[in-house]
Amino acid sequence: MRCIIEPREMQVWSTQKRCQGKTLALVPTMGYFHEGHLALMRWAREHCDVLMVSLFVNPTQFAPHEDLKAYPRDLPRDAELAREQGVDVLFTPTPESMFSKDHAAWVEAPSLCRGLCAVQRPTHFRGVATVVAKLFLLTSPTLAVFGEKDWQQLAVIRTMARDLNMPVEIIGRPIVREADGLAMSSRNIYLSPEERAQAPFIHQGLQQIRGLTEQGETDANILLAALGEMYQRTMPLAAVEYMSLVDPEQLFPLEEIQGPALLAVAVRFKTARLIDNILIPVEERL
Ligand code: PAF
């Protein structure tokens, strides 16, 4: 496995591979790999000639009060795990090489950033879209693979790639969960044992609400009230940041579910903010 730090070297390397007619996959990450990241790498490994993984804790997607400094990092361990997945290039640029002090060009998709995580994190998706655009320009991927846990991020990236004619296929892959249903996240390590014991109820609540839709309930207010009640009962250590039923592509809120719907939540424990979601496909309802 080759490790590349310099953006220019990454760009030259990937351009050469593209010119040789190879297909290139990129898995963009912020590191501290868990099974969710490794599953993305395995999928990408099977679908392209060349597998690139970027590991960059992107400062522009953190607000000043957020956990940029504390974000978990372990490059030697990550490098070893990447090697085991058959990664060809691990790209680990420095913040200074990615964002100059007077960085001024940003990528935004405002219509997808009116609700969900963007309410509490208003500059987050601008930072994500901009760094992903830069990573695409540096790695020339044929396809790029993202997890569906960050559904809004995936929607923003898909829209960015479509609207800016980026020659890359965006692949979303299913959420990988712990045995008890908690969605895997690098931030799960922040949870105290008591919080960790309550956190699986995030997913159980989503499943329960999907169950109600399968029995024919379509009123968003009723569904969200039932979810709020369940979360209050099962997760006293958590504060719900949002619970939303939205259109899975455009992310606008739904009052009544008549087609496919996404139920998305963010929950705050003392030191960790966790997100999760569940798709409610149309055919599962009566
Ligand atoms: O999902 C993440 O890990 C990050 O938001 C991403 C896509 C690597 C951009 O920094």
Q: Closest Cα to residue 230, out of 196, 267, 255?
A: 267
- Could you tell me which residues come within 8 angstroms of residue 283 by beta carbon, excluding any fewer than 6 positions away? none
Nearest to 188 by CA among 175, 205, 173: 175
pLDDT of residue 124: 98
Cα of 30 from ligand 1 centre, angstroms:
6
Are 66 and 187 a contacting pair, CB within 8 Å? no
Residue with CA nearest ligand 1 atom 5: 128
Which residue's alpha carbon is at the smallest distance from atom 2 of ligand 1?
29
195-235 per-position pLDDT tens digit: 999 999 999 999 999 999 999 999 999 999 999 999 999 99
| pLDDT for residue 105 | 98
Q: Separation of 131 CA from ligand 1 center, angstroms?
A: 8
Tell the residue nearest (CA) to atom 9 of ligand 1: 128
Which CATH entry fits the domain spanning 186-281: 1.10.760.10, 3.30.930.10, 3.30.1300.10, 3.40.470.10? 3.30.1300.10
Q: In the block, which residue shows the tokens 């997913």?
A: 203
Helix (H, G, I), strand (E, B) or coil at 115: coil
Condensed to tens digits (0 to 9), the pLDDT of residues 151-169 reads 999 999 999 999 999 999 9
Is the minimum distance from the CB of 130 to ligand 1 under 6 angstroms?
no
pLDDT at 282: 81
> Residue 69: its pLDDT value, please?
96
Which element (helix H / strand E) includes 243? strand 239-246
User: Range(s) for CATH 3.40.50.620 in the chain?
Assistant: 2-173
Q: Is 37 a known active-site residue?
A: yes
* Cα–ligand 1 centroid distance for 31 (angstroms): 9
Give the model's pLDDT for residue 123: 97
Task: State pTM to two decimals.
Answer: 0.96
CA 132 to centroid of ligand 1, rounded, Å: 8
Residues of the chain with CATH 3.30.1300.10: 186-281
pLDDT for 237 beyond 80: yes
Cβ contact 191:271 at 8 Å: yes
Instruction: Supply the DSSP symbol for 150.
Output: G
b/e code 80-90 from CB counts within 10 Å (16+ = b): ebbeebebbbb
- Residues of the chain with pLDDT > 90: what percent? 98
Determine whether the shortest distance from the Cβ of 248 to ligand 1 is under 6 A: no
Q: Flag whether pLDDT at 284 surpasses 80.
A: no
The pLDDT of residue 286 is above 80: no
| CATH 3.40.50.10860 holds for 2-173 | no
Per-residue CA distances from 91 to 167, 200, 217 (Å) = 20, 33, 47
Query: pLDDT tens digits, residue range 23-39?
Result: 999 999 999 999 999 99
Phi, psi for 217 (deg, rounded to 5): -75, 130
The whole-angstrom separation of Cα 175 and Cα 147 is 6
Can you tell me the distance from the alpha carbon of 134 to that of 36, in angstroms, rounded to the nearest whole number?
Answer: 23
CA distance 33 to 49: 22
The pLDDT score that the predictor gives to residue 172 is 98
Planar angle of CA 213, 188, 95, nearest 5 degrees:
115
Strand partners, 25: 51, 143
- What is the average pLDDT across 257-270? 97
